[in-house]
């Protein structure tokens, strides 16, 4: 391998940043992406690592993924620029053994640092990795307009959002049968929103941030991106239907249809919301 960009994880990471940009979910520096690398990917990339940069405290700490390596977007960096200049806009960071500090080992050139939402990404990675036996590797945060718009319309509860989204598009109860979590409006980028998002990730694979955006997780880039796309599409359909009907929907998918659709594809709907 004569360039780190030949590592498929790095290549797919860059592609997903561009995919999100193409969808219109990443105005300016909005949104961020992290990927927890597999040991064999770390070994493949290690010849390109520099170990002379300092450790920086993260503001949160969890030893469960201490010592692991993450590909991350840079804070203040634009998703639209990742594909043309990856080494300036993304990087690889190593976590110390306590899981409380990071150091950049590749990329994030010219003094860039990991996304300001790295604490949220990291705590969610810790929770999901444990819950899925290490399967979950991707955390994705974006600012899709329709799901954000719904946070001005619906009560800010997991039940209200899950039902509205499930009922907007038949695939939804199959794609996210547990529903989505909701975090009330908070200041972005700190330990508080990280703890609140992590708490929701215990129960859901996606978490809405009121008046801000959406967080999704998954075992690979396709699933985390697909979950973002499915939720945003359902939110768009819900808003289109409300707008076209003056806020009064004539009919929708029946409650029992939600469970039946999930079951037909081997999934179990979260019946707490029915
Ligand atoms: P960063 O540029 O630090 O990733 O922040 C963007 C964002 O969406 C904050 O929530
Ligand atoms: Zn954001």
pLDDT of residue 232: 99
- Gap between the Cα atoms of 78 and 59, Å rounded: 24
DSSP secondary structure, 74-135, as one string: BTT--HHHHTT-HHHHEEEEEEPTTSSEEEEEEE-TTT--B-TTHHHHHHHHHHHHHHTTT-
pLDDT of residue 151: 99
Domains 1-116 and 143-274 share a fold: yes
- Gap between the Cα atoms of 251 and 258, Å rounded: 14
pLDDT of residue 97: 98
pLDDT of residue 193: 98
What residue ranges do the domains of the chain occupy? 1-116, 143-274
- Verify whether ligand 1 is closer than 6 Å to residue 197 (CB atom): no
pLDDT of residue 9: 98
- Verify whether ligand 1 is closer than 6 Å to residue 144 (CB atom): no
The residue nearest atom 6 of ligand 1, judged by CA position, is 30
Q: Which of 59, 67, 109, 52 is nearest to 86 (CA)?
A: 109
Spatial CB neighbours of 8, under 8 Å, sequence gap ≥ 6: none
H or E, element range at 142: strand 138-142
Ligand 2 ion: nearby residues, β-carbon < 5 Å: 213
pLDDT of residue 36: 99
pLDDT of residue 173: 98
CA distances in angstroms from 62 to 32, 181, 200, 273, listed in the order given: 21, 22, 17, 31
pTM tops 0.95 = yes
CA of 217 relative to ligand 2 center, distance in Å: 15
Mutate to test the pocket of ligand 1, among 117, 140, 213 (most ligand atoms within 8 A of CB): 117
Mutate to test the pocket of ligand 1, among 25, 26, 27, 31 (most ligand atoms within 8 A of CB): 31
Q: How confident is the model over 148-167, as pLDDT tens digits?
A: 999 999 999 999 999 999 99
Q: How confident is the model over 165-191, as pLDDT tens digits?
A: 999 999 999 999 999 999 999 999 999
The residue nearest atom 10 of ligand 1, judged by CA position, is 188
pLDDT in tens, the chain (274 residues): 899 999 999 999 999 999 999 999 999 999 999 999 999 999 999 999 999 999 999 999 999 999 999 999 999 999 999 999 999 999 999 999 999 999 999 999 999 999 999 999 999 999 999 999 999 999 999 999 999 999 999 999 999 999 999 999 999 999 999 999 999 999 999 999 999 999 999 999 999 999 999 999 999 999 999 999 999 999 999 999 999 999 999 999 999 999 999 999 999 999 999 9
H or E, element range at 23: helix 8-23
Question: Of the CATH numbers 3.65.10.10, 3.40.225.10, 3.30.930.10, 3.40.1790.10, which one belongs to the domain with range 143-274?
Answer: 3.40.225.10
Spatial CB neighbours of 109, under 8 Å, sequence gap ≥ 6: 87, 88
- Verify whether ligand 1 is closer than 6 Å to residue 190 (CB atom): no
CA of 238 relative to ligand 1 center, distance in Å: 27
Whether residue 176 contacts residue 203, with contact meaning beta carbons closer than 8 Å, is answered with no
What's the fold here for domain 1-116? L-fuculose-1-phosphate Aldolase (3.40.225)
Q: What angle in degrees, to the nearest 10, is found between the helix axes of 191-201 and 118-131?
A: 20
117 in catalytic set = yes
């Amino acid at each position: 391998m004569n360039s780190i960009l030949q590592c498929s994880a790095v290549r797919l990471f860059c592609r997903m940043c561009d995919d999100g940009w193409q969808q219109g979910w990443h105005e300016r520096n909005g949104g961020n992406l992290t990927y927890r690398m597999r040991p064999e990917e770390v070994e493949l990339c290690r010849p390109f690592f520099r170990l002379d940069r300092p450790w920086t405290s993260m503001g949160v700490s969890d030893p469960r993924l201490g010592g692991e390596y993450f590909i991350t977007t840079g804070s203040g960096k634009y998703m639209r620029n990742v594909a043309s200049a990856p080494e300036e806009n993304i990087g690889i960071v190593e976590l110390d053994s306590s899981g409380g500090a990071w150091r950049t080992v590749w990329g994030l050139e010219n003094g860039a640092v990991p996304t300001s939402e790295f604490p949220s990404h990291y705590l969610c990675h810790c929770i999901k990795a444990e819950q899925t036996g290490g399967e979950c590797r991707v955390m994705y945060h974006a600012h899709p307009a329709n799901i954000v718009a719904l946070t001005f319309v619906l009560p800010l509860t997991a039940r209200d959002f899950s039902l509205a989204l499930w009922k907007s598009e038949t695939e939804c109860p199959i794609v996210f049968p547990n529903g989505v979590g909701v975090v009330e409006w908070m200041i972005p980028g700190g330990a508080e929103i990280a703890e609140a998002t992590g708490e929701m990730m215990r129960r859901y694979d996606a978490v809405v941030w009121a008046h801000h955006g959406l967080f999704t997780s998954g075992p690979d880039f396709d699933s985390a991106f697909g979950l973002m796309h499915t939720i945003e599409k359902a939110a768009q359909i819900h808003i289109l239907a409300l707008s076209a009907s003056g806020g009064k929907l004539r009919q929708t998918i029946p409650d029992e249809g939600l469970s039946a659709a999930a079951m037909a594809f081997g999934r179990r709907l979260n019946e707490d919301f029915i």
